[in-house]
Amino acid sequence: MPQPALSRRSLLQTGAAVAVGTAVAGTLPAAPAAAARTDIGVSAYAFPLTAVTLLAGPFQANAGRTQSYLNFIDADRLLHTFRLNYGLSSSATACGGWESPTTELRGHSTGHVLTALAQAYANTGQAAFKTKGDYLVAQLAICQNRASTAGYNTGYLSAYPESFIDRVEARQQVWAPYYTLHKIMAGLLDMHLLAGNAQALDVLTRMAAWVKFRNDRLSQTQRQNMLDTEFGGMNEVLTNLYQLTENPDHLTTARYFDHAEIFDPLAANTDALNNYHANTQIPKILGAIREYHATGTTRYRDIAVNFWDIVVNRHSYAIGGNSNGEYFKAPNRIASELSDSTCECCNTYNMLKLTRQLFFTNPSRLDYLDYYERALWNHLIGAQNPSSSHGFHCYYVPLRAGGTKTYSNDYSNFTCCHGTGMETHTKLVDSIYFHNGDILYVNLFAASRLVWPGRGITVQQDTTFPESSTSRLTVTGSGAIDLRIRIPGWATGAEVRLNGTVQSGVTSGSFARINRTWASGDVVEISLPMALTREATPDNSTVQAVKHGPIVLAGAYGSTNLSALPTLNPATITPTSTPMQYTATASTGTVTLLPFYKMHGQRYTVYWTVTGAPPAPFVAHYRFDETAGTSAADATGNGKTGTLTGGAGWTSGRTGNAVNLNGTSAHVSLPAGLLAGATAFTVATWVRRTAATAWARVFDFGTGTGAYLFLTPQSSAGTIRFAITSGGAGSEQQINGPAAIPVNTWTHVAVTQTGNTGVLYVNGVEVARNTAMTTRPSALGSTTNNWVGRSQYSGDPYLTGAVDGFRVYARALSAAEIADLNSTGL
Ligand SMILES: [Zn+2]
């Protein structure tokens, strides 16, 4: 949340005396209203917060601290500036920080508190949360009813005067008035939906009518200009209100907040985010996906899908956060953007909201949930101070070497991230399980109990994840459940047992599925081995973070500040007897590595300089320099040994030896699941074909003709083609080059994909690209027919020729890296 450039002092005068009176509508308890309109394009659904209970564990501990703060916080102090703004007396002590009576953002925290109280009430059933929320709503209604008396337009509700809106419309300096109004509107909607407060909907509806009144008067150009000032998720909350009420006015008003300057490049899948304030943009995209769900207009969906892919793949740090100094930077700048002001917590709060909406839209994208897990654990769970009984929260999470976390407090901070922190830690149950009909998704591993509404089925999850790599589900009740357990992309060698029997079809990066009629006492045991890995930054492959499974580890430096990244010797990383704790030797001496989410009260480093390491993740590398036998060694050390099959042999290569393919049945078979779960990839190799046959394969990774990715040197169109599909030939997404690759000549070919962009290279030079390649290897599951020189289609010819230096990466190599592979001949 950037503070305004100009002094905040110029703006505070509230109009003074006003008349009194006005009746207030009594608060009538009401059952939570169901949405009048069904969401379009959704095929997975959240359970209500009432259905899932946290059991002892880190989530429950975090939730408890925030609940304690919500019980503690004085509603009248939050109402102080609202009352003054409407000429009402208030004897409460003014809040400080961003809620001080002179801060232009005042009132935003009341919105966050309303949402947090509603969520805490829905999740725990404790009446005190609803009582405090109901009181806040009733008092806000009193203020709103005095709008005309206070000189404001009907329906206006805020802790600052309506002249702030005049200023944003006139493009004069003001902080972010619609941002604050969005928080209040979202809080009212949550009090209605989650706590059954009818008055909250009434107050919200009046606010929405006021927003429409203010914006109807403006030209489209004026409205678009106004959107340059941060406005939170106005389009989101108004769309949600439209879905609830069916009143088309709310959708019309929501669309006034569609910011063309941001939406247009995203609709074209262009990354134009550099130098934009990050958390100003993310809520706009939350609005876009909800506008898709409300209207079915696929452009809104594409904007959201493209934005997520761009931000997660090109702008996110190892902990799942984004932004430096609150701004997006040029794509893939990570190592070069480490500071004390990285990773504003609000950004990740909003990215997680977006992530679950996108999963609802496309439940085949398991990578959405992998990101959810990564960002929740490594960023937000660890952003709350466990030493504070009130759950004080970080604003930024510093990622410079020697950084340390700092936290909010009871009454003199009230930053945006203090606000979204209250929301995060009162809804930790909201994405552990999803459903659709009989389908039950188990997304997150957290001690919890699901009571499936209306089905008489309880699923209890017992786990100490991530300290332990196992989780146990126990079913009570009976009925059909199509159980789908997320096997994360990081989990290699995962195992699922049903009542002790090992289940087949368990591969990382896909859902393990058990579709059956369940009975009380059925037990599912999930084992997710956590490997120690390193994640390189895209802009400097020697700058890496260390991870244990999904958990980012950080070096603990006590009170010692650091002026540069320490150099880590990866061979020295040694586990201790404490789960997820390691020691290692670095340039600073012996250092302890702890889970970053547990790193509090001391300085740390998340990133290290790691010299001599290969660019991770380097999946497999076949030099094909063997001279005998049928094994092709994997030079990465990952053990992905290939097997020469059908008469394949050895011959002289581009460098050293190569594998020789006879065009009749010879091929190389690579291990299953080579790119399972990968959302980005590179396959690069040398090939020398000796027959100009169409449809032979350089490589073809797939599971039959339904799901595959392949590269042919010559399609029936006569040119090199890459294709990927998860739905058979009719759904292929292709990159077609300008010509076939030559015969009897060693040629370097490479394909990369990151986000929706696939690039085809020949001899180190890009020859074609496709920027709408939305199918990723992760959509293909764990492919079993991973072949060099052979097609999934039995009618296609085998490759005649030789292949050398075959490389597979689970990331997109840069053009420079591809050029290097070509020039070095390796
Ligand atoms: Zn924030």
**Sign (positive/negative) of CA torsion 380, 384, 386, 389?**
negative
**What spacing in Å lies between the alpha carbon of 425 and ligand 1's midpoint?**
15
**What spacing in Å lies between the alpha carbon of 343 and ligand 1's midpoint?**
9
Helix, strand, coil percentages, rounded to 5, for the chain: 30, 25, 45
Q: How far apart are CA 382 and CA 425, in angstroms?
A: 11
Q: What is the pLDDT of residue 88?
A: 98
Residues 547, 500: one domain? no
Q: How far apart are CA 248 and CA 554, in angstroms?
A: 50
Of 509, 527, 545, the domain-final residue: 527
CB distance 751 to 682 below 8 Å: yes
Q: Which of 499, 495, 497 is nearest to 521 (CA)?
A: 499
Q: How far apart are CA 821 and CA 395, in angstroms?
A: 43
CB distance 711 to 699 below 8 Å: yes
Q: What CATH number has the domain bearing residue 488?
A: 2.60.420
Q: How far apart are CA 443 and CA 208, in angstroms?
A: 35
**What spacing in Å lies between the alpha carbon of 243 and ligand 1's midpoint?**
27
Residues 562, 646: one domain? no
**Structural domains counted in the chain:** 4
**What spacing in Å lies between the alpha carbon of 372 and ligand 1's midpoint?**
18
485-506 pLDDT, tens digit per residue, is 999 999 988 999 999 999 998 9
Residues 6+ positions from 158 with CB-CB distance below 8 Å: 82, 85, 107, 164, 177, 180, 181, 184
CA neighbours closer than 13 Å in the CB half-sphere of residue 494:
28
The per-residue b/e assignment along 670-683, b for 16 or more CB within 10 angstroms, e otherwise, is bbebbbbbbbbbbb
In this structure, is residue 743 part of a structural domain? yes
CB distance 592 to 640 below 8 Å: no
Q: Please give the structure tokens belonging to residue 558.
A: 């006590």
Residues 591, 694: one domain? no
**What spacing in Å lies between the alpha carbon of 326 and ligand 1's midpoint?**
9
DSSP codes of every residue in 444-476? S--SEEEEETTTTEEEEEEE-TTTSSEEEEEEE
**What spacing in Å lies between the alpha carbon of 245 and ligand 1's midpoint?**
30
In this structure, is residue 373 part of a structural domain? no
In this structure, is residue 354 part of a structural domain? no
Residues 450, 542: one domain? no
pTM above 0.85, yes or no: no
Q: Please give the structure tokens belonging to residue 343.
A: 């990773």
89-104 pLDDT, tens digit per residue, is 999 999 999 999 999 9
Residues 224, 79: one domain? yes
**What spacing in Å lies between the alpha carbon of 415 and ligand 1's midpoint?**
6
User: Which three-class secondary structure string do you get for 47-76?
Assistant: CCHHHEEECCCHHHHHHHHHHHHHHHCCHH
Q: How far apart are CA 83 and CA 77, in angstroms?
A: 10
Residues 561, 705: one domain? no
**What spacing in Å lies between the alpha carbon of 281 and ligand 1's midpoint?**
13
Q: What is the pLDDT of residue 21?
A: 30
**What spacing in Å lies between the alpha carbon of 312 and ligand 1's midpoint?**
18
Q: What is the pLDDT of residue 616?
A: 53
**What spacing in Å lies between the alpha carbon of 279 and ligand 1's midpoint?**
8
| CA angle (180, 185, 191) in 5-degree steps | 130
Range of the domain at 705: 618-824
**What spacing in Å lies between the alpha carbon of 394 and ligand 1's midpoint?**
9
**What spacing in Å lies between the alpha carbon of 196 and ligand 1's midpoint?**
28
Of 567, 586, 609, the domain-final residue: 609
In this structure, is residue 774 part of a structural domain? yes
CB distance 52 to 433 below 8 Å: yes
**What spacing in Å lies between the alpha carbon of 255 and ligand 1's midpoint?**
25
Residues 437, 542: one domain? no
Q: What CATH number has the domain bearing residue 757?
A: 2.60.120.200
**What spacing in Å lies between the alpha carbon of 395 and ligand 1's midpoint?**
6
Omega within 30 of 0 (cis) for the link into 742 = no
**What spacing in Å lies between the alpha carbon of 72 and ligand 1's midpoint?**
22
In this structure, is residue 49 part of a structural domain? no
**Sign (positive/negative) of CA torsion 311, 314, 319, 321?**
negative
In this structure, is residue 184 part of a structural domain? yes
In this structure, is residue 654 part of a structural domain? yes
Q: What is the pLDDT of residue 1?
A: 67
**What spacing in Å lies between the alpha carbon of 485 and ligand 1's midpoint?**
32
**What spacing in Å lies between the alpha carbon of 1 and ligand 1's midpoint?**
5
**What spacing in Å lies between the alpha carbon of 228 and ligand 1's midpoint?**
18
**What spacing in Å lies between the alpha carbon of 421 and ligand 1's midpoint?**
9
- Cα–Cα distance list, 483 to 142, 436, 493, 516 (Å): 49, 11, 20, 8
**What spacing in Å lies between the alpha carbon of 347 and ligand 1's midpoint?**
7
**What spacing in Å lies between the alpha carbon of 393 and ligand 1's midpoint?**
10
Residues 605, 626: one domain? no
Q: Which of 291, 268, 280, 184 is nearest to 228 (CA)?
A: 280
- Cα–Cα distance list, 168 to 163, 171, 174, 175, 458 (Å): 9, 5, 6, 9, 51
Q: What is the pLDDT of residue 16?
A: 28
**What spacing in Å lies between the alpha carbon of 184 and ligand 1's midpoint?**
16
In this structure, is residue 121 part of a structural domain? yes
Of 168, 200, 232, the domain-final residue: 232
Q: What is the pLDDT of residue 680?
A: 86
Q: Which amino acid is located at 566 in the chain?
A: P
Residues 484, 628: one domain? no
Residues 6+ positions from 270 with CB-CB distance below 8 Å: none
693 in helix, strand or coil?
coil
Q: Which of 508, 449, 450, 432 is nearest to 672 (CA)?
A: 508
**What spacing in Å lies between the alpha carbon of 414 and ligand 1's midpoint?**
10
User: Which regions of the chain are under pLDDT 70?
Assistant: 1, 3-34, 612-616
> CB count, 10 Å around CB of 438?
13
Residues 767, 657: one domain? yes
Q: How far apart are CA 452 and CA 449, in angstroms?
A: 9
- Cα–Cα distance list, 477 to 454, 458, 462, 480, 519 (Å): 12, 6, 17, 10, 6
Environment class of 715 (CB within 10 Å of its CB; exposed 0-12, middle 13-18, buried 19+): middle
**What spacing in Å lies between the alpha carbon of 111 and ligand 1's midpoint?**
14
Residues 502, 543: one domain? no
Q: How far apart are CA 779 and CA 4, in angstroms?
A: 44
> CB count, 10 Å around CB of 522?
20
Residues 448, 511: one domain? yes
**What spacing in Å lies between the alpha carbon of 236 and ligand 1's midpoint?**
18
**What spacing in Å lies between the alpha carbon of 283 and ligand 1's midpoint?**
12
Beta pairing, strands 540-548 & 532-537: antiparallel
Helix count and strand count (H, E) for the chain:
17, 36
